[in-house]
Amino acid sequence: MSYTIAIAGKGGTGKTTVAALLVRLISEQKLGSVLAVDADPNSNLGEALGLVPRETIGSILDRIAAHPDKIPSGMSKDRFIEYEVQSAVEESDGFDVLTMGRPEGPGCYCYVNNVLRNCLGKLMRDYDYIIIDNEAGLEHLSRRTTRSADALVVICDATSAGLRAAHRINELVKELNIKAVKRLLLVNRSGALEKEKLFGLDLQYIGSLPEDTRIQEISLNGASLTDLSNDAVSLVTLREIGEKVWK
Percent pLDDT > 90 in the chain is 55
User: What residue type is assigned to position 211 of the chain?
Assistant: E
User: What residue type is assigned to position 218 of the chain?
Assistant: I
Q: What value does the CA radius of gyration of the chain take, rounded to a whole number of Å?
A: 18
Distance CA 27, CA 35 (A): 10
Helical spans, DSSP H, in 149-232: 160-175, 213-221
Mean pLDDT over residues 64-85, rounded?
Answer: 92
Residue 110 resides in a domain:
no
pLDDT at 104: 64
Residue 205 resides in a domain:
yes
pLDDT at 176: 82
Q: Number of folded domains in the chain?
A: 1
Q: For the chain, what is the total number of helices (H) and then of strands (E)?
A: 10, 8
Using alpha carbons, list the distances in angstroms from residue 1 to 30, 33, 121, 196, 245.
16, 11, 12, 38, 17
pLDDT at 160: 84
Q: Residue 27's CB: how many other CB atoms inside 10 A?
A: 21
Mean pLDDT over residues 187-209, rounded?
Answer: 81
Over residues 48-68, the pLDDT tens digits come to: 999 989 999 989 999 998 999
Distance CA 108, CA 139 (A): 12
Mean pLDDT over residues 76-81, rounded?
Answer: 92
Residue 109 resides in a domain:
no
Over residues 97-111, the pLDDT tens digits come to: 999 887 665 555 677
Mean pLDDT over residues 21-38, rounded?
Answer: 95
Confidence (pTM): 0.91
pLDDT at 188: 92
Q: How far, rounded to the nearest angstrom, does the alpha carbon of residue 244 sit from its chain's CA centroid?
A: 17
CATH number, position 153: 3.40.50.300
Residue 78 resides in a domain:
no
Mean pLDDT over residues 130-158, rounded?
Answer: 78
Instruction: Please report which confidence band the pLDDT of residue 77 belongs to, taking 50, 70 and 90 as the band edges.
Output: very high
Using alpha carbons, list the distances in angstroms from residue 56 to 29, 101, 124.
28, 5, 18
Question: Residue 184: in which H helix or E strand, if any?
Answer: strand 179-188
Mean pLDDT over residues 132-148, rounded?
Answer: 68
Residue 65 resides in a domain:
no
pLDDT at 139: 55
pLDDT at 161: 85
Residue 55 resides in a domain:
no
Short-list 131, 51, 38, CA closest to 93: 51
Q: Which domain holds residue 205?
A: 3-50+91-100+124-246
List beta partners, residue 179: 148
Residue 161 resides in a domain:
yes
Highest mean pLDDT (candidates 88-97, 117-126, 199-208): 88-97
Q: Greatest CA separation found in the chain? A: 63
pLDDT at 24: 96
